[in-house]
Chain A
Amino acid sequence: MIHTENLTRSFKHVVAVHDLNLHIKSGEVFGFLGPNGAGKTTTVRMLAGLIPPSSGRAEVVGFSVGRDNHKIRHHVGVLTETPGLYEKLSAYLNLEFYAKLFEVENRDQQIEKHLTTLGLWDRRKDPVGTFSKGMRQKVAIARALLHDPQILFLDEPTSGLDPESARTVRDAIAELAQGEGRTIFLCTHNLHEAEGLCDQIGMMKQTLIKVGVPRELKQELFEAQTVVEFNHMPADVDKLLDFPFVRQFRIDPSSLTMTLEDPALQNSQVISRLVEHGAEIRYVRPEEKSLEDVYLALVGEDATS
């Protein structure tokens, strides 16, 4: 559905995107992560047929990026970071305008369907200038879907929204992802959002640093760790951990985090010894690494600041 080879885009002397290689299958929800200025928006603009690449090649829905940009724009929907609606016009008139530009058949039915799905049909006649940020973003989502695009590009869809609005928008995206087998390309800073919605994640900083399924990325980057939480911790715990298979451990006031060679086999041995020496254990659980940990490990601490 989306295939790029060494896709590069420069603006004068600044390289915004360098040698990007991507392969995104039909129906996949692809999360595109990266710090500000990493080239995410430039990538979306290239893939959505808004600007041509400086070098490299890309195909989107079978059309060549750059050469067939006009055709690509017929087949993709774009949700920009800001809704970009005509504030004095009603939600209905905003959508009607775009439906005409995309020459949508059954225009009225399509508008009604999307506004109803997003819970805005009753407000269709109100100027969008009177809407909350979340409602505007929903109108913008409806706009991006009007012509039933094969690929939906979402650029920071929940940026600047309050938690409640962000959640309604996220729910709307989740429904889209599950529903119609549409390919979704989601640019986001929100790692929790990406983890919840995406089948595959790409981390970007001018070029693609890493791409993969979130769970596999965590396994690849971090060794499995076991956390033991105590009601009572025995004295000299460090001496009790002198097994040859204990690679690393960290002792906190009421917990122990350890890295074992094979946790599934060796956890019980460690726990038994601890209990024998008077430990009262509250929980034993695997240490969960978040996508944020993966992101920080790959992109760097400075990216989040």
Chain B
Amino acid sequence: MNFRRLRALMQKEWREMFKNKMVLLSVIIAPLILLSISVFLLVVFNNSYGDLFAEEEIIAQLQGDWAILLNNILMFFMFMPLVIPLAIAVYSVVGEKEQKSLEPLLATPLTDLEIFVGKALASVLPGLLITWLSFGIFSGLLIYLIPWSFIDLFFQPPWLMAMFGLAPIISIFSVLSAMAISSFTRDTRAAYQLSSLIMIPFLMGSLYYIFTFQGLVSMEFVFLGMASMGGMDVLVLLMGIRLFRREDILTRWN
């Protein structure tokens, strides 16, 4: 793997992303909405219970409600690495098809693996960076929005493990699936619609989690998520490597 070529490919993908309003908006709007909802929920909760926070005995009673709220917010943050890189990944494949730029790209010294990894990383990294940036902004606002006695509920190891362990795995799944799906279609709109279907199983899992899990999210739960999503990552990775073969790209992709 030649890292200079890999970096050149990723840089090109990002330059194209910044020039493409549709992709750029998709990347910006999703985290803005999810971050706004999270902050809104905190503000509403704080306004409802804020005057009670001073009383020690009431804090204990409120912790169950906080747990549910925080679990929902965590879910929003787990949606970010799924949604944000999707548009970039779809465009990185469909855009090449639309511009008929695949053959010139394949005529360079780039290896099949470098093309695959370069395009995947170019989508995964911005998704993760924006997720973590949103998390940083949210954490900063949290200090102003909720009392100190509740902040330690938020910065628990499962939360941090979800943000820095599970989120990358989710992002990789989203990107690889979107790239695989996009390889079958030339139409951008169809590629986006089909790729958004990958959110359905994740959404169902999230709803199940929200409605059945009443306590604070545990480390076991995060590890379970990492293991199951990791298994799916391996599956889509194997599929992606099979799809991103020079000959198949030239002769079968349309």
Contacts and interface: CB of A to CB of B under 8 A. Distances in A.
A85 B96 CA distance: 9
Nearest to A45: B250
Interface residues of B, number: 27
Contact of A80 (B5, B19, B103): B103
B106 interface: yes
B108 A101 contact: yes
A299 to B, nearest CB: 25
A88 B105 CA distance: 16
B250 to A, nearest CB: 6
Given A80-B107, A93-B15, 14 more contacts: A70-B109, A70-B111, A78-B104, A84-B104, A85-B101, A97-B8, A98-B108, A100-B5, A100-B8, A100-B11, A101-B5, A101-B8, A101-B110, A102-B109
B102 interface: yes
B4 A48 contact: no
A291 to B, nearest CB: 28
B99 A86 contact: yes
Interface residues of A, number: 31
6 contacts: A50-B106, A78-B104, A89-B19, A101-B8, A101-B110, A102-B109
A216 interface: no
A84 B106 CA distance: 11
Contacts of A74: 109
B104 to A, nearest CB: 4
B251 interface: yes
A50 B107 contact: yes
Interface in B118-135: none
B104 A11 contact: no
Contacts of B16: 86, 88-89
Contacts of A83: 100
A49 B250 CA distance: 12
Given A100-B4, A101-B110, A103-B4, A50 B101 contact: no
B104 A50 contact: no
Contact of B19 (A70, A84, A88, A102): A88
